[in-house]
Amino acid sequence: MIRLGILVASDKGYKGERTDESGKLIMELFSRSEYEIVEYIILPDEREIISSNLCRQADHLDIDLILTSGGTGFSPRDVTPEATLDVIQRQAPGISEAIRQKSLEITPLAMLSRGVSGIRNQTLIINLPGSPKAVRECIEVIAPVLPHAIDILKGQTGECARK
Amino acid sequence: MIRLGILVASDKGYKGERTDESGKLIMELFSRSEYEIVEYIILPDEREIISSNLCRQADHLDIDLILTSGGTGFSPRDVTPEATLDVIQRQAPGISEAIRQKSLEITPLAMLSRGVSGIRNQTLIINLPGSPKAVRECIEVIAPVLPHAIDILKGQTGECARK
Amino acid sequence: MIRLGILVASDKGYKGERTDESGKLIMELFSRSEYEIVEYIILPDEREIISSNLCRQADHLDIDLILTSGGTGFSPRDVTPEATLDVIQRQAPGISEAIRQKSLEITPLAMLSRGVSGIRNQTLIINLPGSPKAVRECIEVIAPVLPHAIDILKGQTGECARK
């Protein structure tokens, strides 16, 4: 069972000026037997607030995988990658590279996504974009490797075939 | 109107021992109605000098986009990425990844390019290689998304379709 | 002549509980006239031990190229990228990106490799995965550019055709 946290960064979503679609889509896409959705929150685009909530989800809610949505772009308020870099201890650049590489096949705008991925203790944190369409595409890329990644991270599998 | 700064890092160019072709090529490729070339300078491969000029272009010349050329390789004097990392506040790794990915289709030497991309306040800084041929290839990759990136960065567009 | 160091990070290999195959494979693949294998060591997955040995190989053994194997995954003990980041002065992200990009064509698990590449003084350090199969694939990607990279790094070639 993978304990999943969903953290949406959106000023408008937080203030109720826009309905969050991306976070709900993540919930829907992970409503499978091997995942348990532990928390789904919408936060303003504030670096400190995002980073402290990432820590809370990782350290106190015992969450294995945090998927963020939003705040990865070029707007002055987009700070989700910075908040994530503040709390991860080990970077996992290959995940964000793979996401962007696949997304580039769909649109050149994918190169503007600044998302990062990394590990805090035994929690994997992955930044996803803010649009539902992009979220769906990104999850298709990462979903096949997530269970294996979490197993290794939790020390439940001694060996990895390739890493 | 996008205010463009061109910063060439080249010991030989700075000393006048070599004519700069790459900076001039960038000027030529951006001599379009939506760009205004605010400054074009040639600097020696010195980390402090490059970083302080990046700051000056971003902070005092009100430049939206700085394209550097040169100093991204493996030579002991190549320090443009380090000078850039010194001054950016938010990384934009997808731009440099996309550049290298496309360049890899042309030559395996592309993997030796160490260029980075990032944001300082409302200025986007992108490291391009030093050779005119590579500069041309890289600009083909990034040109389609630059106007949108700058719009978002300056807060002139509320929404990004995909970020 | 390129002076090569091989550093295997493996708790089991270090304790003699497993025969190292990857380090031996690297030796075999580089048993060519232009390479001299200066040192081949197996270390436990300890950040301090790995980083101090990287420094020793680079600074005291005058090694041009250090290839590490192992410790790049998601296991709590995998810290080779962190040990490498501790000692490099200039990142060379394109090498690790190219490795992962090619490996992704073989398996989606490649996105879980956290390897980094970078330069310490005149030494290039590249993290390779732990499995022999992956090591072989990665070396195929990087081998063609290594002699050129080392030449530039040592200042033995004035110019690089593309960088």
Q: What is the pLDDT of residues A31-48, one digit of tens each?
A: 988 999 999 999 999 999
pLDDT at C87: 98
Using an 8 Å CB-CB cutoff, list residues of chain A that contact chain C: 90-95, 97-98, 101, 119, 122, 124, 141-142, 144-145, 148-149, 152-153, 155, 160-163
pLDDT at C133: 97
Residues of chain B found within 8 Å of residue A82, distances taken between Cβ atoms: 90
pLDDT in tens, B2-31: 999 999 999 999 999 999 999 999 999 999
Query: Around Cβ C154, how many Cβ atoms within 10 Å?
Result: 16
> Could you tell me the pLDDT band of residue C134, with boundaries at 50, 70 and 90?
very high
Which of A74, A93, A111 lies nearest to residue B153, judging by beta carbons? A74
Contact C75 A124 (CB under 8 A): no
Contact C112 A142 (CB under 8 A): no
pLDDT score of B161 more than 80: no
Candidates B95, B99, B107, B112, partner chain C, best to mutate (most C CBs within 10 A) = B112
pLDDT in tens, C7-30: 999 999 999 999 999 999 999 999
Residues of chain A found within 8 Å of residue C114, distances taken between Cβ atoms: 90-94
pLDDT in tens, A128-159: 999 999 999 999 999 999 999 999 999 876 55
| Complete domains list, chain B, with CATH | 2-153 (3.40.980.10)
pLDDT score of A160 more than 50: no
pLDDT in tens, A95-109: 999 999 999 999 999
pLDDT at A110: 97
Entry pTM: 0.95
Q: Are A38 and A3 in contact (CB under 8 A)?
A: yes
User: How high is the mean pLDDT of chain C?
Assistant: 95
> Could you tell me the pLDDT band of residue B40, with boundaries at 50, 70 and 90?
very high
Spatial distance between the Cα atoms of C97 and A64, rounded to a whole number of angstroms: 26
pLDDT at B155: 87
Among B25-34, B83-92, C153-162, the range scoring the smallest mean pLDDT is: C153-162
pLDDT score of B64 more than 60: yes
pLDDT in tens, C31-43: 988 999 999 999 9
> Could you tell me the pLDDT band of residue C162, with boundaries at 50, 70 and 90?
very low
> Could you tell me the pLDDT band of residue C157, with boundaries at 50, 70 and 90?
low
pLDDT score of C161 more than 60: no
Which residue stretches of chain A are H helix? 11-14, 22-29, 47-55, 80-87, 93-104, 132-142, 146-153
- Residue B157, phi then psi, degrees to nearest 5: -125, 125
- Residue A119, phi then psi, degrees to nearest 5: -120, 130
pLDDT score of A163 more than 90: no
